Amino acid sequence: MSHERASSSSSSFAGLVSSESSSESSSSVSEQRTNSIHKALLLPPKQTSMETSSSPKPPPKPPVHMTSSFVDTVTADDDDIEEDIDERKTSRKQRYFSVFLMTTTSAFLYADQNLLSPNLSQAAEEFNFSDREKDVKLAGWLQLAFFVVGSPASLIIGWMCDKTESRVRLLFLTTLIGEGPCLATYWVTKYWQLFMLRAMTGIAVGGCLPLLFSLCGDLFSHKTRAKVASFLTIATGAGIAFGQIMSGAVGPKYGWKVPFVVSAAPAVFFAFLTWMLVDEPVRGGMDVKVNGNHFGHQNRAASRGVGEESEEGGVAIGGEEKKKKKKQKKSSCKDSSKSSSKRDENEDDIISQLSVSDIEIYSGKMDVQKLKRQLRVKTNVLVFIQGVFGTIPWGVLNAYFVDYLHANRGLTVGQGTAAVTLFGLGGAIGVIGGGVWGQRLYNRNKSSVAVLMGLSTMLGALPSYYFVNSTYFGPSESLLYFSCFVTGILCSLTPPNVRAVLMNINPPETRGSVFACYSQVDDIGKGLGPVFIAGLIVVFNGRQIAFNVAFSMWFICGLFLLMMKGTIEKDAETASRQMEAEIVRSPARERTQNEEDNNV
């Protein structure tokens, strides 16, 4: 009995041929080691063919090719097998530790975005502003300042992200440039000083988004990106919620300027840790290793499941396992989902451990023509348009909501902050649930995730009409808290999925610039949104009608998300072909292929 494997050296091939004269027990031990490795990696058992002179052999079929790293693993001792599995576990820990540092940095960056909201009245008193000036200058113009500086900065940083050799270093520098002025807010005495410093802070808030998702796209494959994007998305929402809660608690006691120091210092610290501790991922590595020919066979085998028939030389040895698999087909959907999720994680672990010499090298480089090409992609265009309408209601929640409940509905600042807290809690649940749910839908049918995003966004507008227009919120404001909680869940299902879609339909070297454009659109809604609402407040002489108009924008946003159902699948396939066109073989891979051809 012999194993038919692709080998990177003629000596290993000769050793396999000479194993025909080995004892049957020795061959059995080799098979057990091979199958134990495949079981640990959630791959099907290694198939063998019987070579006897007395019985005819069926026509040979193309073998399943494996990289030299896997051949070495199969022939390793048990200690080497355990060490290999430990390395993959370590790789997973490193990747998620990297995500932890990036999400923590992002959370503190976004925490300072709305620190002024709970203390608008206190700041207005210091600057001697009237109620109208408070809404226009502090809530409207300061948010506009983020757009004026932050949006162009995000475009520049996004382009640099696609060009630089060290994105983690660029992330630290961007954070330092943006959060330094945030720290300096503590010493402002004039309104123009506050305006300038808040504008500079927009550099960090706008620039971090393309950097974070560009890094994330090279740390994880398309099968897990939505779940990982939920971590980064929840960090932004949690950061905003933390900032408002902290500001509402600290501001009334210590002054409205102190929360800016509490938010900015940790952001710089964690950005520095990210620069020091996170290794720069290979650009396009997770895409090429999945789509490259050398790994495609193994991915397809893994997707079929352990024990399913895989032929090599015409004979399969997984009969018993296949029967067991048939018996397990009626198992619960919950067990199936857990198995699928575990398989996706293990595939990412395997991919991340392949060395550069074992893979095809991705040679894609960013240029102006590629940027123009990606800006014409239909799904990208729809994402940008929906972002303009979808972020306007967030301008109400971030800039006006606490003060609206306090000044117009007679609630205390603490009660208004509690409503925002429950909105943020619902948003956290929605982001996590949306990431997991959306990832499963995307893995089954890419276009179905558009339906989830569109319907959930439109439904999220309905509870908002209640807490904007009602004057009675039930015993202890329970109905207010419940409506805020439900709205937070519904309107937060979309963000992790729309960002995962952007990662999946754009080649690796373009993601920084595409996310910069997305960030700019996002800033248009968040920056011009409060200004637009401030204008409506002036036109309608009140906040209530202006807020109703703002929340109605979620219906328009939902329609554009539903239109993506007809574009996602096609654009993802186009991106895959574009990446394949940029693949070149590494010299080591070329030598291995030549040796395989000579051995045949």
Whether 569 has a pLDDT exceeding 80, the answer reads yes
Residue 414 tokens read as 């603490």
Least confident stretch, 6-10, 345-349, 476-480, 513-517: 6-10
Q: What's the pLDDT at 72?
A: 44
Quote the CA–CA distance of 483 and 470 in Å, as a whole number.
Answer: 11
The region of weakest confidence among 1-10, 130-139, 272-281, 459-468 is: 1-10
Higher pLDDT, 234 or 508: 508
3-state secondary structure of 591: helix
Cα 129 from Cα 93, distance rounded (Å): 51
- Give the lowest-confidence range in 285-289, 356-360, 462-466, 596-600: 356-360
**Lowest mean pLDDT, pick from 119-133, 262-276, 302-316, 441-455:** 302-316
Amino acid letter for position 444: R
With pLDDT > 70 as the criterion, what percentage of the chain qualifies?
69
Q: Which of 10, 11, 13, 21 has its CA nearest to residue 1?
A: 21
What is the mean pLDDT of the segment spanning 420-444?
A: 89
Range among 281-290, 306-315, 325-334 with highest mean pLDDT value? 281-290
Cβ contact 562:454 at 8 Å: yes
At 428, the pLDDT band (50, 70, 90 cuts) reads confident
Three-state secondary-structure class, residue 361: strand
Kindly tell me if the per-residue pLDDT of 444 is higher than 50: yes
315 DSSP β-pair partners: 312
Of 45, 48, 44, residue with least CA distance to 1: 48
pLDDT at 271: 92
**Distance (Å, rounded) from C-alpha 514 to C-alpha 507?**
10
Tell whether the model's pLDDT for residue 354 goes beyond 80.
no
Q: How confident is the model at residue 235 (pLDDT cuts 50, 70, 90)?
A: confident
User: Do residues 287 and 362 lie in contact, with contact meaning Cβ atoms separated by under 8 Å?
Assistant: yes
Q: What is the pLDDT of residue 133?
A: 81
Read off the pLDDT of residues 142-201 as tens digits, 9 standing for 90 and up: 877 777 787 788 889 999 999 888 899 999 999 999 888 888 888 988 888 888 888 888
Closest CA to 179 of 270, 265, 101, 111: 265
Distance (Å, whole) CA 423 – CA 238: 10
pLDDT above 70 (res 21):
no
Q: What are phi and psi of 584, to 5 degrees?
A: -125, 150
> Strand, helix or coil at 568?
helix
DSSP β-bridge partners for residue 584: 361
The helix (run of H) or strand (run of E) holding residue 595 is helix 587-599
User: Three-state SS string across 140-197, please?
Assistant: HHHHHHHHHHHHHHHHHHHHHHHHCCCHHHHHHHHHHHHHHHHHHHHHCCCHHHHHHH
Q: Where are the alpha helices (DSSP H) in 400-473?
A: 401-407, 413-444, 448-469
Q: Provide the whole-model pTM.
A: 0.66
Number of CB atoms found within 10 A of residue 349's CB: 19
Q: Is 468 in contact with 548 (CB distance < 8 Å)? A: yes
Check residue 452 and give its pLDDT. Answer: 95
Comparing 46 with 503, the larger pLDDT belongs to: 503
What confidence category does residue 450 fall into, taking pLDDT thresholds of 50, 70 and 90? very high
Position 345 scores a pLDDT of 54
What are the distances in angstroms from CA 396 to CA 48, 530, 533?
A: 65, 7, 8
Residue 289 has pLDDT above 80, yes or no: no
Q: List the structure tokens of 156.
A: 């520049």
With 60 as the cut, is the pLDDT of residue 64 above it? Answer: no
Q: Which residue has the tokens 């895989």?
A: 310
- Token code pair at residue 594: 């030549």
Q: Which residue is associated with the tokens 């300061």?
A: 142
282 or 505: whose pLDDT is higher? 505
pLDDT tens track for 391-412:
888 878 777 888 888 888 888 8
Residue 305, pLDDT > 50, answer: no
* Average model confidence (pLDDT) across the chain: 74
Q: Would the pLDDT of 491 be above 50? A: yes
Spell out a b/e string for 325-340, using b for 16 or more CB atoms within 10 Å of the CB, else e: eeeeeeeeeeeeeeeb
Handedness of CA 172, 173, 176, 181 (dihedral sign): negative
Do residues 538 and 248 make contact, with C-beta atoms less than 8 angstroms apart?
no
Residue 377: the pLDDT is 96
pLDDT at 339: 54
For residue 10, the model assigns a pLDDT of 43
Pairing, β 360-362 against β 583-585: antiparallel
Whether 202 contacts 147, CB under 8 Å: yes
**In the block, residue with structure tokens 């983020």:** 146
> What CATH number does the domain located at 98-280+377-580 have?
1.20.1250.20
In this predicted structure, what is the pLDDT of residue 40?
40
Residue 353 vs residues 45, 66, 71, 272, 347: alpha-carbon distances, Å: 20, 14, 14, 26, 10
- 506 compared with 596, residue with greater pLDDT: 506
pLDDT band at 55 (very low <50, low <70, confident <90, very high): very low
DSSP structure class, residue 541: T
pLDDT score of 369: 92
Query: Locate tokens 């270093």: which residue?
Result: 169
- Pick the more confident residue, 57 or 516: 516
**78: pLDDT strictly greater than 60:** no
Q: What residues does each domain of the chain span? A: 98-280+377-580
Q: How far apart are CA 411 and CA 256, in angstroms?
A: 20
* pLDDT score, position 579: 86
pLDDT at 309 over 50: no
Confidence (pLDDT) at 502:
94
CA pair distance 54, 83, nearest whole angstrom: 42
What pLDDT, on a 0 to 100 scale, did the predictor assign at position 236? 78
> Over 90: is that where the pLDDT of 91 sits?
no
The angle subtended at Cα 425 by Cα 419 and Cα 427, nearest 5°, is: 105
Half-sphere CA count of 63, side-chain side, radius 13 A: 15
Q: Where are the beta strands (DSSP E) in 451-593?
A: 583-585
Per-residue pLDDT, 497: 94
DSSP 138: I
Q: What is the 3-state secondary structure (H, E, C) of 269-318?
A: HHHHHHHHHCCCCCCCHHHHHHHCHHHHHHHHHHHHCCCCCCCECCECCC
Structure confidence by residue, pLDDT tens digits, 168-178: 999 999 999 98
Give the residue among 236, 203, 253 at the shortest CA–CA distance from 114. Answer: 236
